Amino acid sequence: MIGALIVSQVLLGVVVLALAVVCFALARQIGVLHERIAPAGALSVNQRLKVGDTAPPLSLTAIDGRAIVVGDKAASQLYFFLSPDCPICKTLLPIVRSIASAERDWLTVILASDGGDVDKHREFQSREKLDDFPYVLSEALGRSFGVGKLPYAVLVDDAGKIASMGLVNSREHLESLFEAKERGVASLQEFAARRLPSEKHEHQHDQKQRIGA
């Protein structure tokens, strides 16, 4: 009886150890997959500008009279292009407010549209409680930034350079602009595109080494 108990305890220990090894291997594989899978970020569809370009030198006036200088080196600027008729734009406004509050030490958020009825935009600004943000109506601004679809955002750094840009449909998309800025790419999709050839080359190299071995 005692011998059987000892054997069962030993077998249980072996099973637990095996499970621990399997869990470790799975955790490591998940980590590898996490590194390989690119994060979903804002999609850059701009053919007019690229990261590192100087922001278009425009001096604008917001609908409340505030003066806006594109590329003002006093702080980085996030231009969020929207429309009163864009439902996705409206759902992102609380996130824009959150980002503006959290990053206010270094970032100025500017709302922008390519034009339309000024009174309609003023009504929208009041209804959505956007009075704290400069709100610019400028076809020239949208055209200079190559904005074709909404909602769209452009991040201009404190050197007056385009840092990142893209279509934004979620908080993740908006926040990806800041990560793209840190990585020095237009968008996380561009970062992923740069990684794929390198990873493919490394994979082929590893295969050749295994074959040679």
Question: What's the token pair of residue 173?
Answer: 């998309």
Report in angstroms the alpha-carbon separations of 62 from 27, 65, 87, 195.
52, 5, 22, 41
The domain spans of the chain are 59-191
pLDDT tens track, the chain, 213 positions: 566 656 566 666 666 666 765 555 555 554 433 333 344 556 555 567 888 999 999 999 999 999 999 999 889 999 999 999 999 999 999 999 999 999 999 999 999 998 889 999 999 999 999 999 999 999 999 999 999 899 999 999 999 999 999 999 999 999 999 988 888 766 655 555 555 444 444 544 454 454 455
- pTM, rounded to two decimals: 0.70
- C-alpha neighbours within 13 Å on the C-beta side of residue 86: 19
User: How would CATH label the architecture of 59-191?
Assistant: 3-Layer(aba) Sandwich (3.40)
Q: Helix H segments across the chain?
A: 2-36, 87-102, 118-127, 139-144, 171-183, 188-212
